[in-house]
Structure 1
């Protein structure tokens, strides 16, 4: 999970009969004025109580909201760089709010995080304003949806580790190096990105942990005037939410953790299980392609899997031209194939990309890779790829040297014959990190918290279903909802059973039956 593949980057794919026709780009510019008055709320009793006196000035700050992005509200939150030194250096975090569509029925604020780690939560909250994109209309009517870019990401003191050209090369390199030269390149980047984070980001590089981001969320809760936190976290956002619940169990309101991460697994075991998850998703996609008839990959599951693997090998030997000035390298091809596996809705786009690539044109797969890495036409509009590395490796710097990868290949190839070697090499990724966390590791149980809803999808590629089962067990008050289906996360993914359970929890506080199967 923390090595080879980011869990969920905010993407919007517009599909046509031949694949992706356009990308919905979330606006980043502020509107200069808005004639409406900025809505205000009255803090709930105890909302501004700080966990210790030295933090009182952060908990009592008042957010100054301005209209932005054509109807949203934007502000900044001040927090300590280091919570051990609250009187020291501070940083500012970007916050975006989509006001409740029906102010007269407003329940409160619903904080969101899309995962990554590294994806900007402000963009996620912005996109959530469209019914069905993240939440259904009744939830949008009743809640202000609030996203705060976690520290080190988006517009919240973003970490910097590589130049855009270096990041292009880092993503394009062979993620399964099979020559001495490729191994040298791969291990060179392991050192370079770790060194770059420390050199370019300074003290910040040591203070972008999940624990610190969770502490920031409690400051946000306070400044929103909420005595408890209502929260929806997807993918890595479940780890952030579970960490919050463990730190502040008495502040847990209605928490939903969707596409859950098993926070108790070792990095190696997480990576191994995620390799198996993507293999399962790939097999489901290929079988669906074959069943539909006239599949571009062949007329059987095994033939289709072999053709995908051969395409990666061929692209490694010779990158494919595209309609632009960049070729499709093997790293781009891997990420271009992986991204559409996140949702069955994207399978037609993957078919179009594979058909084009098998015909000698890598344009679509490169586009998918760029979407995965949050790359625009002229570079990177956010730092999600660098933040993913900085946060993941600061939380858990465990790694193995390149010399130990061959001994691990057997386990990973058994878990994923198609992608296993990539994930095995990913075990080296944090070997070059130079920053050191000041936060100790935690056994997350959230003892004493109100019920926490955990959602798992049976064929989720990025966060395998077993992870949701495990997290629900680890959380003292965990309540599991299971969705039988494909794709990453379960809410608003086509299951009325899941949607109605989550809506009932957010709107009425009705706790779903533990073990609900949808």
Structure 2
């Protein structure tokens, strides 16, 4: 679900592209992003306390509502410069005012912010709304990266569409979830071994949630995906261009599918890449994800055994992971890079390794990085697996937005230590090495004691009257398990699953030649999906 893989060079001009993934991993902030934290925080804080910039400075009214029968007219988007450091002039930002609670549209307001890069071609199809996933992933950051030269989007997408990066409510430049950084940074085990450790976990979760409510206000109880989907409809109407074009990765697929259920007749194209199935119970979600994660770890070990370019070639990778986890459980392994930079923990536990190793499995292009990271941990430097520390209430990397959204969308059955132990046994049955470690486990354990209500629990989708919707998923995705995509295709009467026979999380941001990405591009341009049952080998 959670995306935005923060690589060390992601936001340096000319740096590597930031991939997407369900987990937000511990990575040092890029220089440009770190320099702009104050500006971003000021922008987001203003959005919390003042009317949306577009509403305050714009009197234009969008005409799209009248054309599409979408309801009353809304204020049009007013595009201005973006608050990111050194952002080029062609990157434009806009905000709209939305109800905190859509059931009470005249009540308190929040803002939702987007940015835009115009199409490079002379005859664009229209605009394409983009959500990178998460939850907690910032679409505006992705577009900022694109504007700074990272080339995250395909040439075809850039040619034919004005790309619009979305920061859902609670995230990034939109009205953000704000939490006490000391509580965000407090170290507690998500795998408690006794009652005292379990109580520390639940107490931290409750205190953290209470701090988020105190600092965020009523928005904290309304950051669920249904509310975000209703915001997306208001954005579509404010844009004034007719029906929606949408590309959602990972958690973005849940946001897109929710929109399709609410507004099926207002879609032109919708591509869901890396399918998240919100009809599953949270324990079932954990079992599916941890199994997919362990499968990817096994395949990584097989690659290292076959390929002499792997720095761990000749090493039993599974045994190495086991040994590192056991060692770090006895005595945390130092993270000297974190000690130098000060933005991540200076030591790494066994569960840090298990939870964060998943991030380096998300993309096959990073296999070499994972091998080096494991080798360095064996040599006493586990910096690559260290969790990030929050520098403030709405830190761009370490913040409470993901957990706040997850705890409203996914109920946890954990009330006692015995509940957590039963789930741990379920995880061990699905993945003996990992034993449940995954982002889904952070929901099961991290939402125990969370004070905000579950307002959008899992349930079957009911979508009628939508145009063809394209779903793509890899057979060996370590994050969004392939069976979830099969289930989503069955749940969407107009859904068509194109399978990528291979490894890695999502397909659209893959580097190099990719027939799966080409199929997404063709669909977004023409509205035509590949035939049902299509399988690509990329």
Q: TM (normalized to structure 2)? A: 0.82
Indicate conservation of the 8 Å contact 1:311/1:358, yes or no. Answer: yes
Closer, same or farther: CA 508–12 of 1 in aligned 2, 3 Å = farther
Closer, same or farther: CA 506–425 of 1 in aligned 2, 3 Å = closer
Give the alignment of 1:492-511 within 5 angstroms.
Answer: 492-493=509-510, 494=512, 496-511=514-529
Offset of residue 25 of structure 1: 5.7
1:458 maps to 2:475: yes
Structure 2 partner of 1:92:
111
**Alignment partner for residue 392 of structure 1, among 406, 409, 433?**
406
Structure 1 partner of 2:353:
333
Give the alignment of 1:221-370 within 5 angstroms.
Answer: 221-293=236-308, 299=314, 303-323=316-336, 324-325=338-339, 326-330=345-349, 331-366=351-386, 369-370=387-388
**Alignment partner for residue 60 of structure 1, among 48, 58, 74?**
74
Offset of residue 126 of structure 1: 2.6
Offset of residue 296 of structure 1: 6.1
> d(CA) in 1 for partners of 2:245 and 2:150?
19
Report how many aligned residue pairs link the two structures.
484
User: Which range is displaced more, 204-213 or 491-500?
Assistant: 491-500
1:99-146 per-position Cα deviation (integer Å, ceiling 9, x unaligned): 1112x2211100000111111121123334578844311210111110
Indicate conservation of the 8 Å contact 2:311/2:368, yes or no. Answer: no
Q: Which runs of 5+ in 2 are unaligned?
A: 10-14, 17-25, 41-59, 340-344
Closer, same or farther: CA 381–470 of 1 in aligned 2, 3 Å = same
Closer, same or farther: CA 363–158 of 1 in aligned 2, 3 Å = same
User: Which range is displaced more, 337-346 or 392-401?
Assistant: 392-401
Closer, same or farther: CA 504–295 of 1 in aligned 2, 3 Å = closer
Offset of residue 192 of structure 1: 2.6
> d(CA) in 1 for partners of 2:314 and 2:201?
36
> d(CA) in 2 for partners of 1:391 and 1:265?
16
Structure 2 partner of 1:38:
none
Closer, same or farther: CA 194–119 of 1 in aligned 2, 3 Å = same
Describe the SS at the equivalent of 1:145. strand
Indicate conservation of the 8 Å contact 1:119/1:384, yes or no. Answer: no
Structure 2 partner of 1:11:
6
Indicate conservation of the 8 Å contact 1:462/1:488, yes or no. Answer: yes
Structure 2 partner of 1:3:
none
**Alignment partner for residue 162 of structure 2, among 144, 148, 158?**
144
Closer, same or farther: CA 24–383 of 1 in aligned 2, 3 Å = closer
> d(CA) in 1 for partners of 2:148 and 2:498?
24
Describe the SS at the equivalent of 2:402. helix
Structure 1 partner of 2:175:
157
Indicate conservation of the 8 Å contact 2:275/2:473, yes or no. Answer: yes
Closer, same or farther: CA 264–133 of 1 in aligned 2, 3 Å = farther
Indicate conservation of the 8 Å contact 2:333/2:348, yes or no. Answer: yes
Offset of residue 437 of structure 1: 5.2
Closer, same or farther: CA 23–390 of 1 in aligned 2, 3 Å = closer
Offset of residue 295 of structure 1: 6.2
> d(CA) in 2 for partners of 1:409 and 1:157?
36
Structure 2 partner of 1:34:
none
Closer, same or farther: CA 209–408 of 1 in aligned 2, 3 Å = closer
> d(CA) in 1 for partners of 2:278 and 2:196?
36
Indicate conservation of the 8 Å contact 1:455/1:468, yes or no. Answer: yes
Indicate conservation of the 8 Å contact 1:112/1:125, yes or no. Answer: no
User: Which range is displaced more, 244-253 or 93-102?
Assistant: 93-102
Indicate conservation of the 8 Å contact 1:483/1:495, yes or no. Answer: no
Offset of residue 61 of structure 1: 0.2
Q: Which runs of 5+ in 1 are unaligned?
A: 1-5, 32-40
Offset of residue 243 of structure 1: 0.2
> d(CA) in 2 for partners of 1:42 and 1:511?
34
Indicate conservation of the 8 Å contact 1:297/1:307, yes or no. Answer: no
> d(CA) in 1 for partners of 2:244 and 2:441?
39
> d(CA) in 1 for partners of 2:108 and 2:497?
41
Offset of residue 75 of structure 1: 1.3
Structure 1 partner of 2:452:
435
**Alignment partner for residue 470 of structure 1, among 487, 490, 495?**
487
Offset of residue 47 of structure 1: 6.0
Q: TM (normalized to structure 1)? A: 0.85
> d(CA) in 2 for partners of 1:500 and 1:9?
22
Describe the SS at the equivalent of 2:2. coil
Indicate conservation of the 8 Å contact 1:455/1:481, yes or no. Answer: yes
Superposed CA RMSD in Å reads 3.0
Indicate conservation of the 8 Å contact 1:176/1:425, yes or no. Answer: no
Indicate conservation of the 8 Å contact 2:146/2:153, yes or no. Answer: yes
Closer, same or farther: CA 296–379 of 1 in aligned 2, 3 Å = farther
1:376-424 per-position Cα deviation (integer Å, ceiling 9, x unaligned): 7x99732664111111111233322222222233321121122114359
